[in-house]
């Protein structure tokens, strides 16, 4: 077999997609205009698939902080945290994040993906067991694989199934690592935190919650905050690339052993550290988040408005309103046609294919921002309606 034989099926799928004329995975943003607009393929586009929940990527204070940091400290650290890559600003950001979550310690990683990879692979090994929600993010699955631990999946958002699997572990449950997410990235649904925490308290183990898509969205700090389950959660991971408009990731915990993870996590030890400009803008964004609850109010107003608009069109959506709003489709041709129709009408959303999606569906995934105006939200809804009509007409012909 050729080294590349494994790609044959993927190549065939890519060829079939190219023949449709749609290029959902080759969209090039030629120029950013604002947090919600860009030039794509020579045309002005409303961006409705960026995860820029609070719209802080163009916040003047964040931009100024990043610019000043570049002038003062250069464009990059050129080293890992364990070598020359720990600047005073890294320590300050870790202190900010720990204080923000009210936790004893924090570790900052270069990306959110690396945060999950680094924490899971350092906390567990082949003698351990990790119990994860079946719909967890790829970074969690990859962290589990890197660890070598036994992985047990429980049905998505099913705390009873989690309890059953912990019960079957017997004494091993006391040292099991349970992993769930605050808001799930594909359908925007949230974990049943109280029920999951109750199962953890009954059977033991440690609980890690990934708040990547819920930080700054559910309260200030995510699902753990709004459900008041602080004492039940041992580790919180997340990213700076959503609500905080930058890149990077983190883990916070009250457990003193977190510092041992720092020196044993390969994705931390062997990765170049965050750039000074990114650290600077992230610290400012964190401060803006805390003093600007009106951003979260606007975000949820926009999310509810678009969710209601798409529901009225008869589209199958996630189970509850959220800044992540995904239309679920069973037919690939319809998904491609609607995505292309939206793009033609000046609206960019994410088109997500299986196996990255729940239940093998095709998703037109929108992510709403506080920076979207009411008019833009209505334009997105109208573009969906028009694209839907066009597809119905062409299908009937």
Based on the domain organization, do 24 and 118 belong to the same domain? no
Q: Is the Cβ–Cβ distance between 104 and 98 less than 8 Å?
A: yes
Let me know if 200 is a catalytic residue.
no
Q: Which of 371, 348, 359 is nearest to 49 (CA)?
A: 348
d(CA 177, CA 291): 34
Only one residue has tokens 């994705």, namely 267
Question: Among residues 213, 214, 273, 367, which one is catalytic?
Answer: 213
Q: Which of 249, 272, 291 is at the close of a domain?
A: 291
Count: domains in the chain? 2
Six token digits for residue 355: 């196996």
Residue 113, burial from CB neighbour count under 10 angstroms (0-12, 13-18, 19+): buried
Let me know if 90 is a catalytic residue.
no
Per-residue confidence (pLDDT) for residue 382, from 0 to 100: 98
Give me the CATH number covering residue 325. 3.90.1150.10
Based on the domain organization, do 315 and 385 belong to the same domain? yes
Question: Among residues 90, 200, 242, 372, which one is catalytic?
Answer: 242
Per-residue confidence (pLDDT) for residue 357, from 0 to 100: 87
Per-residue confidence (pLDDT) for residue 149, from 0 to 100: 98
What is the extent of the structural domain holding 16? 5-54+293-396
Based on the domain organization, do 204 and 280 belong to the same domain? yes
Q: Is the Cβ–Cβ distance between 56 and 285 less than 8 Å?
A: yes
pLDDT digits (tens, 9 = 90+) for 316-329: 999 999 999 999 99
223-225-229 Cα angle (round to 5): 90
SS3 readout for the chain: CCCCHHHHHHHHHHHHHHHHCCCCCCCCEEEECCCCEEEECCEEEEECECCCCCCHHHCHHHHHHHHHHHHHHCCCCCCECCCCCCCHHHHHHHHHHHHHHCCCEEEEECCHHHHHHHHHHHHCCCCCEEEEECCCCHHHHHHHHHHCCEEEEECCCCHHHHHHHHHHHHHHHHHCEEEEECECCCCCCECCHHHHHHHHHHHCCEEEEECCCCCCCCCCCCHHHHHCCHHHCCEEEEECCCCCCCCCEEEEECCCCHHHHHHHCHHHHCCECCCHHHHHHHHHHHHHHHHCHHHHHHHHHHHHHHHHHHHHCCCECCCCCCCEEEEEECCHHHHHHHHHHHHHCCEECEEECCCCCHHHCEEEEEECCCCCCHHHHHHHHHHHHHHHHHHHHHHHC
Question: Among residues 147, 185, 243, 265, which one is catalytic?
Answer: 185
Q: Which of 291, 311, 337 is at the close of a domain?
A: 291
Give me the CATH number covering residue 171. 3.40.640.10
Based on the domain organization, do 76 and 214 belong to the same domain? yes
d(CA 24, CA 39): 16
Six token digits for residue 121: 């692979």
382-383-385 Cα angle (round to 5): 65
d(CA 227, CA 222): 9
Based on the domain organization, do 248 and 315 belong to the same domain? no
Q: Which of 291, 313, 347 is at the close of a domain?
A: 291
Based on the domain organization, do 149 and 49 belong to the same domain? no
Based on the domain organization, do 73 and 23 belong to the same domain? no
Residue 257, burial from CB neighbour count under 10 angstroms (0-12, 13-18, 19+): exposed
Low-confidence residues of the chain: pLDDT under 70:
397
Based on the domain organization, do 198 and 126 belong to the same domain? yes
Phi, psi of 139 (to 5 degrees): -65, -30
Based on the domain organization, do 139 and 241 belong to the same domain? yes
Per-residue confidence (pLDDT) for residue 25, from 0 to 100: 79
Let me know if 164 is a catalytic residue.
no
Only one residue has tokens 């900010």, namely 96
d(CA 305, CA 323): 10
Query: CA dist 287 to 18, 59, 154, 212, 387, Å?
Result: 45, 12, 37, 18, 40
Q: Which of 250, 261, 262, 321 is nearest to 286 (CA)?
A: 250
Based on the domain organization, do 311 and 280 belong to the same domain? no
Based on the domain organization, do 278 and 328 belong to the same domain? no
Based on the domain organization, do 45 and 67 belong to the same domain? no
Residue 3, burial from CB neighbour count under 10 angstroms (0-12, 13-18, 19+): exposed
CA atoms within 13 A on the CB side of 194: 3
């Amino acid at each position: 077999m050729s080294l590349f034989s494994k790609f044959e099926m993927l190549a065939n799928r890519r060829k079939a997609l190219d023949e449709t004329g749609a290029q959902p995975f080759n969209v090039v943003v030629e120029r950013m205009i604002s947090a919600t607009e860009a030039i794509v393929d020579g045309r002005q586009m409303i961006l409705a698939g960026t995860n820029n929940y609070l719209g802080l990527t163009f916040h003047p204070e964040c931009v100024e902080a990043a610019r000043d940091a570049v002038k003062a400290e250069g464009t990059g650290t050129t080293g890992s945290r364990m070598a020359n890559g720990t600047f005073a600003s890294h320590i300050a950001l870790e202190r900010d994040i720990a204080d923000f979550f009210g936790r004893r310690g924090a570790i900052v990683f270069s990306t959110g993906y690396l945060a999950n990879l680094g924490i899971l692979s350092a906390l567990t090994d082949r003698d351990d067991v990790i119990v994860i929600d079946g719909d967890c993010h790829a970074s969690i699955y990859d962290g589990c694989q890197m660890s070598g631990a036994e992985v047990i999946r429980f049905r998505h958002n099913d705390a009873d199934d989690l309890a059953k699997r912990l019960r079957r572990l017997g004494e091993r449950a006391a040292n099991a690592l349970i992993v769930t997410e605050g808001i799930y990235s594909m359908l925007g649904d949230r974990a049943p935190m109280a029920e999951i925490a109750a199962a953890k308290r009954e059977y033991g183990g440690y609980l890690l919650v990934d708040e990547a898509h819920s930080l700054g969205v559910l309260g200030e700090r995510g699902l753990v905050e709004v459900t008041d389950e602080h004492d039940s959660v041992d580790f919180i991971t997340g990213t700076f690339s959503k609500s905080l408009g930058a890149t990077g990731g983190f883990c916070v915990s009250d457990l003193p052993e977190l510092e041992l993870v720092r020196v044993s996590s390969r994705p931390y030890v062997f990765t170049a550290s965050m750039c000074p400009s990114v650290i600077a803008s992230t610290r400012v964004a964190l401060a803006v988040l805390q003093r600007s609850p009106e951003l979260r109010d606007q975000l949820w107003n926009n999310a509810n408005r678009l969710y209601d608009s798409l529901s009225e069109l008869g589209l199958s959506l996630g189970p509850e309103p959220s800044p992540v709003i995904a239309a679920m489709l069973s037919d690939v041709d319809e998904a491609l046609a609607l995505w292309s129709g939206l793009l033609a009408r000046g609206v960019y959303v994410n088109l997500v294919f299986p196996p990255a999606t729940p239940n093998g569906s095709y998703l037109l995934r929108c992510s709403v921002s506080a920076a979207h105006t009411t008019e833009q939200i209505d334009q997105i809804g109208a573009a969906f309606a028009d694209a839907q009509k066009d597809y119905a007409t062409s299908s009937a012909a």
